[in-house]
Structure 1
């Protein structure tokens, strides 16, 4: 398999690095060069991130091949993006061979104080040995080039010209407002890094003045240290990739000053502002790069510069046009063919035939940039990855009170791409449910089940888990439980070569603790979304840094439901009548013996057909009430079209199935001490008009709650409110996050911490 260009990059980087990769890939496709992405995970402190959403969108829409490094691939040029991604060697050899490696230096070798940011020689050797080709360093701007040229001994070979980041001008509509005259809107967008801001309070206040005729707009937030210093005229909004063009279009001036300890390698945010026609005010150190496209001054001179342009609309218009013109001349995507031809010539390589027709796009409409609207993550099509890159993932579910752990894991497993092969290992008595859905599963009884001590059980479990990992050639382990137990942690420590993922739901009770360092043992922690997240005050709510949050995870999508007639037939009820399902969980740790008959009696008195759902984990009941249908049902959401009212516990799955399934429900929280905050979920649903809360101690209120739940007033309000809920299943998001981990080359730690120790 041969490509003209392969891009090796960490797709989780934000800002200039991801933007450069995205535009390079778009440009290659647009101008007829064959290209592919070889994703690396090269920096450990950004493990909480997914692939950058606009880059992922381009990979999907343009069907860019996603290499794993296991396919035999040859290319003319391998572009390695950002030296930070190549500080270590991977644990496996890469079968990608290139004639030359061009390292796009998107991070300077030294900071503003002269401290080394990475070892130049190590990065160079790593790339040479990974790809078996000479490495040439390509600075992305004059600041980076100047640092390399100051190196006396050991300076790497540099590309003769800077490899600027490119801009797709179609993504950046030029401002259409009239030049400002009396009032100015000053703004900037960047991450919340303190180094991205001026060093002193005086410089900050001078650069972003608190004046009556000036408004300051910031996208991306500000560091906590700066919050006490901001003026009354500041407006701060969170960062949004899809919202940047709209944000910039509301500004007049773009002002960017940063710490003297920071060196901006390029400044993609600056280039975006200039492409939008903003009058851009910068530190003089940017002059060599942005030339006449920007205005240069010190922070204390900012107000004078702004006032000068407010007093001269003609000068404002001229500078706005100069900014756009500069970007078009130096950084426009239209320069890609000319630049690539120059690179091929400099490297002594034969140019691809497509570069002979410089400036002529191939199917330009098909490969146009993102429109600026919000993107929807979907992930790679099967054809994007090689058949050689199949991955087996082991889903490990603990023994919960209910079926929550295995249900979430099956939801994720069943939404993975075909080149992922799920295998299950569980301590749950619900293993037969996993098998019934077609998944390979091994069952290990829990310690209480077989009457052994926790210590001895953990020793045996570790052996069983290790045997499963080796027998199935597992690539990744996905664990769903509240607490990782010693047997699992023992194998995790012995097999750091695997990808370890923890699915950790929220809504922990305040009495439940967790070692904050536990999540750092895993390569990825995913938290399923909670409808009642605003009322989550447990320990996990304080530990979301380094955690990937996804939408609520459900097993059944609306398209998977049976019709009312089919579902009613399966439930044994008349589809023409009202149907209620009573599903109060396994009842293994919470007594609802008084509440259950009160609920069923109230439903029967209202002429409702009652399905008394039998939980697969519950002991066999002998209290079958006449007039009800007793059924073992899983998953109940598949039958929702034949159900008019659910009476259920408020565990994660049951609760969210009802909320996002538009199902009227009476929630009966399981309030056993070891459980999550089900009472909070139930109360939140009631306050939101999307359910009722009936606690186990309120058996005498059962009839009243049922009467209200069946009333037209409640049902009408429920329909209205439920129709406004927008739902995207987080199971697919979680599956894609795991695939991004499983199919990337890991260079985020040294080999000593990455190889198996058994």
Structure 2
């Protein structure tokens, strides 16, 4: 288990103040000689897959600040967990990560101004306790958040001081010398969110005049305001978010004015601190006086011009107010963060001179792990779990499928090959957390559609990430599961001495050309996962003689499937002879509209007395579950298959292979919207040989008929008998043996991967 000083947990993708404040704390911790691990929480606060904030990645280095991969064994002296809403998505690291102390930094009130709950304090506390094995203390970011926490009964412990954001600009602030009172410059900067703007036209035009002797400067976009006031005023200058450095922008602003939505509370705005530091006179809502005191001026939106007028006429002293604000901002220096760290971990000089570990070296008063035992990178992904194993390292690369097929196949392969190889996943699948839950390290690489960037840029990005991963982890074998080998991956393969394996699923639609098969010479070994319905395969791969076919590949074996009673108990379903369950698993719903088909299936199952449908939600599903039916979200689903009398399922590779292997009578509804996978061929084969029934989305009555037939116990029994005669799925172990043999041949030819 690796010991570190600080574990920081949040969603590092978020723009704005949270990431900037986190980055400054990371910088301070580095300056103190502390080691910090970063654990990502993929929260709902980001609606799409985006990279980590650049202000975070700039702080990552080889020794002091590095990402933690789920599965790494970590012991931290202090865990700092930011943004309670994000923490609900904290990965389950309960078996591998422990902390002596934990602090939840609450950056927003727990209760909204309208009385609604922003986050459940007890729920967040329970998540952190279950993940880290320690009861956290709560640290409000300022008086507004503290007040909301103090109104909630049951908060275990709230620190007596606020965890205010550090504001650590280098050098001294520029002292103002005055402003042009004939045409004051009003400004503001914030993220382009509706909550950051007033929600009434009167408040907007009062605080940010649309006429008269004022200029208004906006950094961060003004779309929410412009939609309300219907157009861009001639005296407004608008810069989009990130277009200018804040301090450069603020240098041209005399009065920084900030009012927001009536249902928003500003906890402790970093933008406000930047405005104070720059010397602007800051004008805020009255409730923020408890946070900023004399550093700012407070009024209602309708009073802004009158307040500015008092400074223009000399009733108020502009230079004095500017200086008071700068002194307030200067008080939030690096020493603030150092002091609170020391309150948990000891005096700063003790932190700098902790006793060295047995394998550490004294470098500048701190312990540095020897370089040979580190696998670090400036991109998310660091692991020392395999240090000294002596086994070759395999990078398992999967494409961005509409379902979980590519990832699940390679997870089964990783489990089978773990005695011969050290697997590390490198995937575009947003269901990648199942890999971490299985105990394997991984890197997530967003696909082009997730990043919403140009194809050419994405290919270069992918190649750079892959090349870095190969070098950083000292990879010996690349195993790719996908239909289309990416240009960047082929470039990496050509320039390296790796064993190159392509796990290429068969059963392509007849309309798909053989163009991709021409890339076979770029690989040393091509493995074709077997198909129970292989005799119905008429696609391009059926004519290819260069691949080695194995049995169907599944993620678990039949012996790992739970007995019916245990499966029902784990799923929370009643074990009652009068109650029978039907598993409904029609796929992720990311490429086809499942609503009408799903409703048809649910109606067909529910109309029979004693029969209850149970829906599934895949880890990458974008479809919403029906609130009227029991829904389960578990992986691997096959482990619980014996809880059900029969299933209604899409005929994708995984479900088809698993249910055939386990012996689950199934109504197969092929997804006709897939690009390559010929699901209907599988469904036709199952119908024709009597190991399943087939129904079609385009023929709703066929769904009713197939489900009705499955209610008949004699039909189910006949299908089970035929399923029992099928060969078992051992493809994952067969593939692992093939790769191990290819690796030994690779070495015998004098090719030693990436660690020679």
TM-score under structure 1 length normalisation: 0.53
The equivalent of 1:467 in structure 2 is 553
Match of 2:501 among 418, 430, 440: 440
Per-residue deviation, residues 202-221 of structure 1 (Å, max 9, x unmatched): 11111111233211111111
C-alpha distance in 2, partners of 1:324/1:405?
Answer: 42
Cα distance 1:273–1:351, how it changes in 2: closer, same or farther (>3 A)?
A: same
The equivalent of 1:109 in structure 2 is 110
**Pair 1:39-2:40 in alignment:** yes
The equivalent of 1:127 in structure 2 is 128
Contact 1:16 1:106 in 2 (8 A): no
The equivalent of 1:97 in structure 2 is 98
The equivalent of 2:481 in structure 1 is 425
Please tell me the root mean square deviation across aligned C-alpha atoms, in Å: 4.6
Per-residue deviation, residues 236-288 of structure 1 (Å, max 9, x unmatched): 11111762221111211110011220011111110111011111000111111
C-alpha distance in 1, partners of 2:8/2:465?
Answer: 29
**Pair 1:353-2:353 in alignment:** no
Cα distance 1:121–1:250, how it changes in 2: closer, same or farther (>3 A)?
A: same
Structure 2 counterpart SS, 1:326 = helix
Contact 2:220 2:239 in 1 (8 A): yes
Structure 1 counterpart SS, 2:553 = helix
C-alpha distance in 1, partners of 2:590/2:146?
Answer: 48
The equivalent of 2:304 in structure 1 is 302
**Pair 1:386-2:383 in alignment:** yes
**Pair 1:320-2:317 in alignment:** no
The equivalent of 1:754 in structure 2 is none
Cα distance 1:429–1:282, how it changes in 2: closer, same or farther (>3 A)?
A: closer
The equivalent of 1:619 in structure 2 is none
Q: Which runs of structure 2 are paired with 1:665-676 in the superposition (5 Å)? A: none
Structure 1 counterpart SS, 2:223 = coil
Cα distance 1:69–1:211, how it changes in 2: closer, same or farther (>3 A)?
A: same
Cα distance 1:395–1:355, how it changes in 2: closer, same or farther (>3 A)?
A: closer
The equivalent of 2:51 in structure 1 is 50
For structure 1, the 5+ residue unaligned runs are 365-378, 472-482, 487-492, 501-758
C-alpha distance in 2, partners of 1:334/1:254?
Answer: 27
Contact 1:397 1:406 in 2 (8 A): no
Tell me by how many angstroms 1:397 deviates.
8.7
Per-residue deviation, residues 42-101 of structure 1 (Å, max 9, x unmatched): 225343432111121122498512222422222221100110112246355452211121
The equivalent of 2:213 in structure 1 is 213
Structure 2 counterpart SS, 1:170 = coil
Cα distance 1:252–1:123, how it changes in 2: closer, same or farther (>3 A)?
A: same
Greater RCO (Cα-Cα under 8 Å, separation 6 or more): 1
Tell me by how many angstroms 1:181 deviates.
2.3
Per-residue deviation, residues 314-372 of structure 1 (Å, max 9, x unmatched): 8111111111101112x22232223333x32xxxx644534699xxxx999xxxxxxxx
C-alpha distance in 1, partners of 2:551/2:258?
Answer: 53
The equivalent of 2:405 in structure 1 is none
Q: Which runs of structure 2 are paired with 1:472-491 in the superposition (5 Å)? A: none
Cα distance 1:466–1:56, how it changes in 2: closer, same or farther (>3 A)?
A: farther
Structure 1 counterpart SS, 2:265 = coil
Tell me by how many angstroms 1:499 deviates.
11
The equivalent of 1:368 in structure 2 is none
Cα distance 1:229–1:444, how it changes in 2: closer, same or farther (>3 A)?
A: closer
Q: Which moved more, 1:190-199 or 1:430-439?
A: 430-439
The equivalent of 1:506 in structure 2 is none
Per-residue deviation, residues 94-123 of structure 1 (Å, max 9, x unmatched): 522111210000122111111101111110
The equivalent of 1:223 in structure 2 is 223
Structure 1 counterpart SS, 2:238 = strand
Q: Which runs of structure 2 are paired with 1:86-235 in the superposition (5 Å)? A: 86-88=87-89, 90-91=91-92, 93=94, 95-151=96-152, 153-170=153-170, 173-174=173-174, 178-224=178-224, 225-226=227-228, 228=230, 230-235=232-237
Tell me by how many angstroms 1:172 deviates.
8.2
Tell me by how many angstroms 1:455 deviates.
9.6
Tell me by how many angstroms 1:173 deviates.
4.5
Cα distance 1:252–1:197, how it changes in 2: closer, same or farther (>3 A)?
A: same
Tell me by how many angstroms 1:142 deviates.
0.3
Tell me by how many angstroms 1:186 deviates.
0.8
Q: Which runs of structure 2 are paired with 1:75-86 in the superposition (5 Å)? A: 75-86=76-87
Contact 2:41 2:90 in 1 (8 A): no
Contact 1:87 1:118 in 2 (8 A): no
C-alpha distance in 2, partners of 1:157/1:456?
Answer: 63
C-alpha distance in 2, partners of 1:465/1:113?
Answer: 59
Q: Which runs of structure 2 are paired with 1:51-66 in the superposition (5 Å)? A: 51-60=52-61, 63-66=64-67
Per-residue deviation, residues 507-566 of structure 1 (Å, max 9, x unmatched): xxxxxxxxxxxxxxxxxxxxxxxxxxxxxxxxxxxxxxxxxxxxxxxxxxxxxxxxxxxx
For structure 2, the 5+ residue unaligned runs are 354-362, 366-375, 387-392, 402-454, 515-532, 543-548, 558-588, 593-614, 623-756
Contact 1:171 1:245 in 2 (8 A): no
Structure 2 counterpart SS, 1:58 = coil
Cα distance 1:429–1:261, how it changes in 2: closer, same or farther (>3 A)?
A: closer
Tell me by how many angstroms 1:165 deviates.
0.5
**Pair 1:413-2:413 in alignment:** no
Structure 2 counterpart SS, 1:440 = strand
Tell me by how many angstroms 1:404 deviates.
9.6
The equivalent of 1:238 in structure 2 is 240
Contact 2:188 2:257 in 1 (8 A): yes
The equivalent of 2:431 in structure 1 is none
Contact 2:61 2:378 in 1 (8 A): yes
Cα distance 1:231–1:338, how it changes in 2: closer, same or farther (>3 A)?
A: same
Per-residue deviation, residues 674-726 of structure 1 (Å, max 9, x unmatched): xxxxxxxxxxxxxxxxxxxxxxxxxxxxxxxxxxxxxxxxxxxxxxxxxxxxx
C-alpha distance in 2, partners of 1:381/1:246?
Answer: 28
The equivalent of 1:3 in structure 2 is 4
Contact 1:172 1:272 in 2 (8 A): no
Tell me by how many angstroms 1:144 deviates.
0.4
Q: Give aligned pairs, total.
A: 457
The equivalent of 2:726 in structure 1 is none
C-alpha distance in 2, partners of 1:13/1:48?
Answer: 11
Cα distance 1:425–1:300, how it changes in 2: closer, same or farther (>3 A)?
A: same
Contact 1:382 1:418 in 2 (8 A): no
Contact 2:10 2:87 in 1 (8 A): no
Cα distance 1:58–1:381, how it changes in 2: closer, same or farther (>3 A)?
A: closer
The equivalent of 2:276 in structure 1 is 274
Tell me by how many angstroms 1:196 deviates.
1.1
**Pair 1:250-2:265 in alignment:** no
The equivalent of 1:740 in structure 2 is none
Per-residue deviation, residues 109-152 of structure 1 (Å, max 9, x unmatched): 1111111011111100010110001111100000000111122x
C-alpha distance in 2, partners of 1:406/1:161?
Answer: 46
The equivalent of 2:340 in structure 1 is 339
Tell me by how many angstroms 1:294 deviates.
0.5
C-alpha distance in 2, partners of 1:219/1:277?
Answer: 17
C-alpha distance in 1, partners of 2:326/2:398?
Answer: 52
Contact 1:32 1:354 in 2 (8 A): no
C-alpha distance in 1, partners of 2:216/2:621?
Answer: 44
Structure 2 counterpart SS, 1:74 = strand
